[in-house]
Amino acid sequence: DVVMTQSPLSLPVTLGQPASISCRSSQSLVHSDGNTYLIWFQQRPGQSPRRLIYKVSNRDSGVPDRFSGSGSGTDFTLKISRVEAEDVGVYYCMQGAHWPPTFGQGTKVEIK
């Protein structure tokens, strides 16, 4: 299985400041169809995951533009330009290029 490694696992941030989460895969996530199948989810406390970003950098409808995704191959990043209180939760990357889909361990974002 493809191993997804996130860092950091815990991220205390100050309101209004930027935050960045790294996700590295053990294999390239570039599919034979040319697309890169990397997703970012947000899971707020007590809630189900919510998709924020798909195929590396495409923001889902309704997701604030302070969230952005970037990267290629095996190295990906989720950035929050200015953290707000509602951003508290655990963020997961997930790869869909290889079966089974696998998730990172999660990064817990909290306010300092």
Instruction: Using the minimum distance from each CB to another protein, give the nearer residue, 16 or 62.
Output: 62
Torsion of CA 9, 15, 16, 17, to 10 degrees: -40
The minimum distance between CB 29 and another protein, in angstroms, equals 10
The minimum distance between CB 72 and another protein, in angstroms, equals 16
Instruction: Using the minimum distance from each CB to another protein, give the nearer residue, 83 or 97.
Output: 97
- Report the interface residues with another protein, using CB under 8 A: 31, 33, 35, 37, 39, 41, 48-51, 54-55, 60, 92, 94-97, 99-106
The answer to whether residues 84 and 18 touch, using CB atoms and an 8 Å cutoff, is no
Q: Which amino acid is at 40?
A: W
Torsion of CA 53, 59, 63, 68, to 10 degrees: 80
The minimum distance between CB 111 and another protein, in angstroms, equals 21
